[in-house]
Structure 1
Amino acid sequence: MKIQEQENILADMCVIAPTVYRDNRGCFFESWNEREFSQLTGANFHFVQDNRSVSKAHVLRGLHYQVSRPQGKIVTALKGTIFDVAVDLRKSSPTFGKWFGIELSGINKLQVWIPPGFAHGFLVCSPVAEVAYKTTDYYSPKDERCIVWNDPVLDIDWQARDTPILSSKDAAGDPFELAELFE
């Protein structure tokens, strides 16, 4: 596992590139190693929940976060390709109000660490994508919030060629200016 340098990455985030061993049978890699992650990043988080979603092309999920029980996440695309986005909602952060996006796919095997205090979302860029993410806290429906995906203040370039498919909850997300934020 190594940390991959990325231009414009937000404070405390990182992109993880696993060491992939390939041969004529296929490949093998560790998708998670807590000891290595802690040594590389200095972050010491324990994950309590694993989530998976399967979505069709043009589905956009997000921008989600939890206020009282913020979740750190390691996100990976197991199959297909997504454009993954994180927004820093920590008012004390040097990258507050900024967003970072990266292509994650079953082919590139990259993972992104999104610390607590960020909103998260992704757009499916392939016919189907299966996404997995580990979280540092449990899902809490009463704490869940959503920022509208096309907020003009954030001005996220989702790299979408077509109109995204949204849930009613995501379509009705709050504007960034009204979002509950972190200190």
Structure 2
Amino acid sequence: MISRRVFLMAGTALAAAFALRGLTPLAWAAGMEPFEVVKSDAEWRAALTDDQYRILRHEDTERPFTSALNHEKRKGTFQCAGCALPLYSSEANYDSGTGWPSFWQSLPNAVATWEDNSLLMTRTECHCRRCGGHLGHIFDDGPPPTGKRHCINGLALAFVLSR
């Protein structure tokens, strides 16, 4: 029988090995390759605010109705706050009434998805495909033409106006 201490030490070592290869344990489980943008934990902490770090790197969720991006109606692009990859066009942005910025589709080759079985349910989790930053979840209750709702943490995004 393995002791709790040995189990925790082995788990920590495995997580560190994933991080060195640019993978999160969830990305590894989903069969993803290492991300293009790879930073150490200290580099991510220095580059992001505490709340952005908690959301992008530890898959947390911001409180609903707290993001300034809920009211963003200008023409532009929503980028990853971690690596500046363009993720969503303002043309796909809509008010879902859920309290988080919502989109009916992402830009091509912008997000990676995998199954999230936390909270006693199955959801589709989405991440920035370039840095692996956690964005939010995708649900099947969105508007036409896709019927999808990309429910995204506003702190995971940066808005850039179109010129």
For this structure pair, what is the TM-score category when the shorter chain's length is used for normalisation?
under 0.3
Structure with bigger gyration radius: 2
Structure 1 length-normalised TM: 0.26
> Which has more helix, going by share of residues?
2
Structure 2 length-normalised TM: 0.28
Q: Which has the higher contact order (CA 8 A, sep 6+)?
A: 1
> Which has more strand, going by share of residues?
1
